[in-house]
């Protein structure tokens, strides 16, 4: 979540309360210098395990509650029950069937593999597994007998054509009607009866962001499921960079017990300690260090590695004209003496576990900044392997966005992974603006409203996937989307200023080389407003989820390398929804989406 505090509250982005809840350093009242360092890697790694092939997870969070009713929807004429329910319930938010097949405008062309064109395209899709509907899904025939939600009548948002290409190529699948759940059993009949199956603070942005990212709605927040996964796999990494890297500031997802995220931003800049620059040419520590390429080793070792220096190394005489720091890596300058003093404080041992962990913040930050900087320097522009893919999907007239730049940093870190010496990485990126209470549907304007959000999202994901394929890493990466919650199916106004309000179950996606793509997973909802799985008596179309966040997350974590027993520790609620992780259990719930051999 973005850590910058705004003067006016914007619930589509985190506020001061969110940051204080999620940043332990801020809540402990650390000074400004260490508070800045807290935006870097925090504490160490978990118990060692055997090394393995490189794998990366990318959590793409749509901050503010994305209206996914218009990301994946029934298409076709109003003759089908599904399409009729869609058009009736969505009102002014409904996308006309004629818009799913269209000719892109001059500034909205698509890359066809050779050039950027304005050729006609369609976002209608044909899932390979049928479309799971509101009646019982039949795993034997992989269809839904007697249900009018047929696989030939589905479409994505008109701005999601790049996602459609990934779906068609077998690289992406959608989850239908997924959300936070504590246990099965919530129904329209018992929703307002205080059932314990309902997550607390269901329609609150901050609470639902935390619950999705922790997967434990029924427990006070202590860690995110990404952080708990990182704790387990940390021993597979030999580098000094932790498992988790956030390109979007503080978040709950990556908070672990022993592993905490390293924070970066969309520029890919690595921020060193200030006040130590200098030299010719000027470098970050050129005014304090003789060799700025070396990193400190705070353990006072008997012998040093080729990339390290010892902050506790002895010095010469303090009198006369001799350089007293000549036997160290520090320059005999005011900056050199100050940096030496600081790093000797960091090297000190502490009896208090709290103090020891506290000092690990700047210590780890100091060591990690050079490592990440080296990895990024290897992949800096011009980068022929990566740059062209972003240009293909963001042509003239459609500039790079914050999300595309975040994913570009992730792509560069994966490309420069040899410098990091890690076998497992978990990345967090996010984009805000999804709190679309007003003017959700622009009038034929692809650069406004939800169309612009989905257009940006789709292009960014496709450019990232093309980059990963170009460097041969698509099979080693899995990206998944998430959001606070879905939005009401019905609009809050019946004119062009109409938007949607906070709701519950919605649609998301997962993509990567190990994903069994071209599927709609779970159970697509019965879109009957005021009946079926519409949760409340307000009859706004707040769908009760039919798939829990835990089920999607557990399969992703299993691909990442966790055993079934480790999955049970990371997701203690999982067996409320999933009896086991066998192929038969996955097929029975229409959740067979991972090729574990990849």
pLDDT tens readout for residues 360-381: 778 878 878 878 887 888 888 8
Show the tokens assigned to 555: 């399969």
| pLDDT score of 444 | 59
> Using 50, 70 and 90 to split pLDDT, how confident is the model at 76?
confident
> By three-state DSSP, how is residue 418 classified?
helix
pLDDT tens digit sequence for 219-275: 999 999 999 999 999 999 988 889 999 999 999 999 999 898 988 889 887 778 889
Residue with tokens 């160290």: 328
- Mean pLDDT, range 101-126, rounded to an integer: 91
CA distance 204 to 217: 12
Alpha helices in 323-352 (DSSP H): 334-347
Bigger pLDDT: 472 or 373?
A: 472
Q: What is the pLDDT of residue 79?
A: 62
Determine the pLDDT at residue 130: 55
Task: Please state the three-class secondary structure of 245-277 as a single string.
Answer: EECCCCCCCCCCCCCCCEECCCCCCCCCCCCCC
CA distances from 88 to 80, 283, 489 (A): 12, 63, 10
Characterise 268 by phi-psi region: left (phi > 0), alpha (psi -120 to 50), beta (else). Answer: left
Higher per-residue confidence, 543 vs 131: 543
> Cα dist. 489→64, 85, 445, 527, 535 in Å?
16, 10, 22, 8, 12
3-state secondary structure of 230: helix
Residue 34: predicted pLDDT: 29
Give me the helices (H) in 485-563, please. 549-560
Of 125, 129, 200, 212, the C-alpha closest to 168 is 125
Rounded to whole angstroms, the Cα distance separating 180 from 360 reads 34
| Nearest-angstrom CA–CA distance, 258 and 256 | 6
Query: 522: which strand partners?
Result: 176
pLDDT at 45 over 60: no
| Pairwise CA distance, residues 430 & 407, whole Å | 9
Q: How confident is the model at residue 482 (pLDDT cuts 50, 70, 90)?
A: very high
Q: Which of 94, 89, 91 is nearest to 542 (CA)?
A: 89
The pLDDT of 458-474, averaged and rounded, is: 97
Q: What SS3 state is found at 514?
A: coil
Residue 388 has pLDDT above 80, yes or no: yes
Instruction: Report which of residues 356 and 494 the model is more confident about.
Output: 494
Query: Which whole number is the average pLDDT over 87-96?
Result: 94
Rounded Cα gap, residues 361 and 368, in angstroms? 11
Contact 522, 178 (CB under 8 A): yes
Six-digit token string for 264:
């970066």
Q: Residue 1: pLDDT band by 50, 70, 90 thresholds?
A: very low
Do residues 103 and 115 make contact, with C-beta atoms less than 8 angstroms apart? no
What pLDDT, on a 0 to 100 scale, did the predictor assign at position 397?
A: 62
């Amino acid at each position: 979540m973005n850590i910058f505090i705004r003067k006016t509250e914007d619930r589509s982005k985190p506020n001061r309360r969110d940051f204080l809840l999620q940043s332990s350093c801020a809540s402990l009242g650390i000074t400004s210098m260490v508070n800045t360092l807290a935006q870097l890697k925090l504490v160490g790694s978990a118990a060692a395990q055997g090394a393995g092939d490189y794998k990366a997870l990318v959590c793409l969070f749509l901050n503010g509650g994305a209206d996914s009713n218009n990301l994946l929807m029934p298409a076709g004429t109003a003759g089908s029950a599904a399409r009729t329910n869609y058009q009736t319930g969505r009102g002014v938010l409904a996308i006309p069937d004629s818009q799913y097949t269209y000719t892109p405008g001059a500034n909205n062309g698509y890359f066809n593999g050779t050039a950027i064109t304005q050729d006609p395209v369609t976002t209608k899709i044909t899932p390979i597994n049928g479309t799971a509907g509101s009646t019982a899904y039949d795993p034997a025939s992989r269809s839904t007998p007697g249900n009018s939600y047929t696989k030939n009548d589905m479409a994505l948002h008109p701005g999601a054509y790049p996602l459609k290409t990934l779906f068609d190529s077998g690289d992406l699948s959608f989850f239908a009607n997924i959300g936070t759940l504590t246990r099965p059993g919530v129904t329209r009949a018992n929703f307002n009866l205080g059932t314990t199956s309902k997550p607390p603070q269901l329609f609150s942005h901050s609470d639902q962001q935390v619950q999705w990212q922790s997967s434990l709605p029924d427990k006070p927040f202590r860690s995110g499921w990404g952080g708990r996964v990182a704790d387990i796999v940390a021993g597979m990494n030999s580098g000094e960079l932790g498992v988790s890297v956030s390109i979007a500031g503080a978040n709950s997802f990556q908070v672990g017990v022993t592993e905490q995220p390293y924070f970066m931003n969309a520029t890919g800049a690595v921020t060193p300690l200030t006040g130590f620059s200098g030299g010719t040419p000027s470098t970050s520590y050129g005014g304090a260090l003789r060799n700025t390429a070396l990193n400190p080793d705070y353990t006072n070792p008997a012998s040093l590695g080729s990339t390290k220096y010892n902050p506790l190394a002895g010095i010469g005489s303090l009198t006369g004209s001799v350089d007293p720091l000549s036997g160290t890596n520090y320059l005999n300058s005011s900056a050199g003496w100050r940096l030496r003093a600081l790093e000797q404080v960091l090297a000190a041992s502490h009896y208090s576990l709290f103090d020891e962990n506290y000092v690990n913040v700047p210590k780890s930050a100091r060591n990690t900044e050079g490592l990440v900087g080296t990895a990024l320097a290897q992949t800096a522009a011009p980068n022929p392997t990566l740059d062209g893919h972003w240009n293909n999907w963001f042509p003239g007239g459609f500039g790079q966005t914050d999300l595309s730049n975040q994913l570009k940093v992730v792509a560069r870190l994966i490309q420069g992974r040899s410098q990091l010496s890690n076998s497992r990485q978990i990345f967090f990126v996010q984009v805000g603006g999804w709190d679309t209470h007003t003017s959700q549907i622009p009038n034929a304007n692809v650069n406004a409203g939800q169309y612009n959000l989905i257009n940006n999202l789709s292009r960014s994901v496709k450019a990232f996937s093309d980059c990963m394929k170009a460097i041969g890493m698509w099979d080693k990466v899995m990206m998944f989307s998430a959001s606070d919650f879905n939005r009401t199916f019905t609009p809050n106004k019946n004119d062009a200023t109409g938007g949607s309000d906070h709701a519950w179950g919605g649609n998301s996606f997962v993509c990567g080389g190990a994903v069994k793509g071209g599927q709609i997973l779970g159970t697509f909802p019965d879109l009957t407003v005021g009946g079926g799985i519409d949760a409340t008596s307000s009859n706004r179309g707040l769908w009760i989820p039919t798939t829990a966040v835990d089920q999607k997350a557990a399969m992703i974590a299993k691909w990442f390398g966790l055993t079934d027993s480790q999955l049970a520790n990371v997701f203690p609620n999982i067996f409320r929804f999933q009896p086991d992780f066998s192929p038969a259990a996955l097929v029975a719930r229409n959740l067979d989406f991972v090729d574990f051999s990849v």
